[in-house]
Amino acid sequence: MLPELGHFALILALLLAGLQAFFGIAGAHLRRDRWLAAVAPAVAGQFVMVATAIACLVSAFVTHDFSVSYVAENSNSALPLFYRVTALWGAHEGSLLLWIFLLACWTLAVAIGAARLPVRFGARVLGVLGVVSFGFLLFTLATSNPFLRLIPAAPDGRDLNPILQDPALAIHPPILYTGYVGFAVAFAFACAAMLEGRLDQAWARWTRPWTTSAWAFLTVGIALGSWWAYYELGWGGFWFWDPVENASFMPWLVGTALVHSLAVTDKRGLFKSWTLLLAILAFSLSLLGTFLVRSGVLVSVHSFAADPTRGIFILVFLIIMIGGSLALYAWRAPLLRSSAGFELGARESFLLFNNILLVIAAAIVFGGTMAPLIADSLGLPTLSVGLPYFNPTFLMPILPLLALLPVGLHAKWKRGRLAQQQRAILATLAVSLVLSLAVSFGVFAQGKILTLVGLTLGPWIILSSLVDPIDRWRRRLTVSRSILGMTIAHIGVGLFVIGITVVQSFTQEHDVALGRGERASVSGYEFRFEGVRSMEGPNYDGVRGSIVVTRGAAPLGTLYPEKRRYWVQGTVTTEAAIQMNRGTNLLIALGDDLGAGRWSVRIQVRPLISLVWLAALIMAIGGAIAGSDRRYRAAARSAAEVASGGAAAQERAG
């Protein structure tokens, strides 16, 4: 009964999304205030329906209802409760339902916040979100219904893909999707502004907190995915430029540009059309990512079952959403001229560089991801892409971006007198350079050019981001949350640069064959192999090795790398053992049984690798703090009063 109820709830949600879209957009256009009044209830109703659908599917998983085909394919009676719940988004159909649910949550939040917006504008925003939701619901119901029954019911399920039976990957999709879907809100604000034909600083102030929080979620989501890849895949990489990784990275790059461009629109009323375009692009790339992953035109480790019919549906949806919004942009953006100007050395210039370089970086990732498809459709021999393309090309826009960041942090709005800041810029640069030389040659006794560049840029960015808050503190001004958040996020960027540089320059990696009691020594750490024991988990068996680690005479503990064999699908996974020691990451993965008690063992010593993910988390925390600035709420309220007052006056005049 429950699966049918869930299916029915989804159909009702589709109808409500249609009403929300129609009343929101047409009502605002035709100025029918009674239509507008129906928008918020439609949002609330849609949320209740989608939540009901999700609850029905979760209950099917929890109660082992293998008569539901999606449950039979992605669960098993031996699967622990936690993974039975997260198996909900273990494959295509459920992931879509999760996407829709998160969109319903964001939309509800916008509807609550929209009470402070001008009525028609708020209705337009919700209307555009309704269109997005309608498309996804129709897609789910037409091609990917998770509630389909399996007759006769399966005696037991095929089990959740073992690679997904991991806490980090279990919570990775909801966080990542929250970020993706959050960009739908920025997109809706942009479309509403274009429909309205008006975009002012108040608009940027309404849009900023939503965009910044979506960006923060996306940052955490990507970092979690990379962290998972690091220890689950077991051979020490944290970024593979895989199409699915790129699909989440492109919206992040454009989203980062959008966050900065919005700051300029908010503070100075500039970059209006540019901000709109970035808002459209960030969400379009999220949608395109969905297309690439779901349609199966690109093959990847991460991709779920591919199906060309779904590809065609998504393509049509892309044409309507992206094509529609870009057409609206071509028509309306020329109306939004900015009158104010700025000087070359002003902060606006640096933010413009930031935008351009980030968009170039996104274009490079896009080009690499799409190259095979483009070559294929032109009938050319296929281009080769991969790590050898991405790593060097990506650095080209990113290095100048990182070098301009500390200078830009010293620059003032509007006026370009960098000469006043020259001493501070050079002083921070000199300190960073000394630090960089000291670390390269003092600690690691080696250094290449890129190592020195990275180790100089990192501290320079950190020191420069402290300039503004320290200056304010000395002048006894308050440090607002948006400035505090910005400072923290930029410190995160600096730490990230340091982390990546150290990891890439100073990692030691060895594959050794070890018998019981034998030792290997890497980077001053001693590893003693104590043999393997067989073991059994809830739905897998396997072996667990134990390796005692010492440094000098000091014992650092024992590491237990595992090889697991999951019963149902027969898949073997490698669970690397990881230990932190003063920021250095020791990773041990079990290779093959070489016979006679000997095993091949991969030992990696990666200094500071956890800093990479920690730094991403710090960036996200910065974003969350900046997004919660009280100024946005207060400003929204007063702007709304002014706007509604204005509208009322207009109506009286009309």
Is the Cβ–Cβ distance between 415 and 346 less than 8 Å?
A: yes
Q: Which two tokens stand for residue 506?
A: 């100073």
Compute the distance between CA of residue 87 and CA of residue 74 in angstroms, rounded to an integer: 6
603 beta partners? 510, 588
Q: Which two tokens stand for residue 76?
A: 């098993």
Span 559-578, contacts to other proteins by CB under 8 A: 572
Among 280, 495, 577, 611, binds other proteins (CB under 8 A): 280
Residue with structure tokens 């790593």? Answer: 391
Compute the distance between CA of residue 604 and CA of residue 601 in angstroms, rounded to an integer: 10
> What is the dihedral sign for C-alpha 105, 136, 203, 646?
negative
Span 328-347, contacts to other proteins by CB under 8 A: 329-330, 333-334
Q: Which two tokens stand for residue 588?
A: 């041990």
CB of 228 to other proteins, least distance (A): 13
CB of 525 to other proteins, least distance (A): 20
Residue 41 binds other proteins, judged by CB under 8 A:
no
Compute the distance between CA of residue 128 and CA of residue 20 in angstroms, rounded to an integer: 9
Among 11, 299, 396, 479, binds other proteins (CB under 8 A): 299
644: CB partners within 8 A, 6+ apart: 118, 119
Contact segment (CB under 8 A) with other proteins among 65-73, 288-296, 440-448, 454-462 equals 288-296
Contact segment (CB under 8 A) with other proteins among 60-68, 292-300, 423-431, 498-506 equals 292-300
Question: What DSSP designation does 321 have?
Answer: I
Pick the closest to residue 528 from 557, 564, 497, 568 (CA basis). 557
Instruction: Output the CA–CA distances (angstroms, integers) from residue 621 to 462, 480, 509, in the order listed.
Output: 16, 15, 33
Is the Cβ–Cβ distance between 390 and 368 less than 8 Å?
A: yes
Question: Considering CB under 8 A, how many residues would be counted as binding other proteins?
Answer: 53
Q: Which two tokens stand for residue 303?
A: 């991709």
Contact segment (CB under 8 A) with other proteins among 197-205, 273-281, 403-411, 489-497 equals 273-281
Span 372-411, contacts to other proteins by CB under 8 A: 372-374, 376-377, 379, 381-388
Residue 111 binds other proteins, judged by CB under 8 A:
no
- Residue (511 or 651) nearer to other proteins, CB: 511
Residue 520 binds other proteins, judged by CB under 8 A:
no
- Residue (299 or 634) nearer to other proteins, CB: 299
CB of 485 to other proteins, least distance (A): 30
Is the Cβ–Cβ distance between 389 and 368 less than 8 Å?
A: yes
Strand bridging mode 577-581 / 554-559: unpaired
Contact segment (CB under 8 A) with other proteins among 17-25, 67-75, 81-89, 277-285 equals 277-285
Q: Which two tokens stand for residue 301?
A: 């480790």
Helix (H) / strand (E) element for 579: namely: strand 577-581
Among 312, 430, 479, 535, binds other proteins (CB under 8 A): 312
CB of 188 to other proteins, least distance (A): 18
CB of 503 to other proteins, least distance (A): 16
Question: What DSSP designation does 379 have?
Answer: T
CB of 390 to other proteins, least distance (A): 11
- Residue (117 or 132) nearer to other proteins, CB: 132
- Name the residues that contact other proteins, by CB under 8 A: 233, 235, 237, 240, 242, 273, 277, 280-281, 284, 291, 295-297, 299, 301, 306-308, 311-312, 315, 318-319, 322-323, 326-327, 329-330, 333-334, 370, 372-374, 376-377, 379, 381-388, 511, 572, 591-592, 600, 602
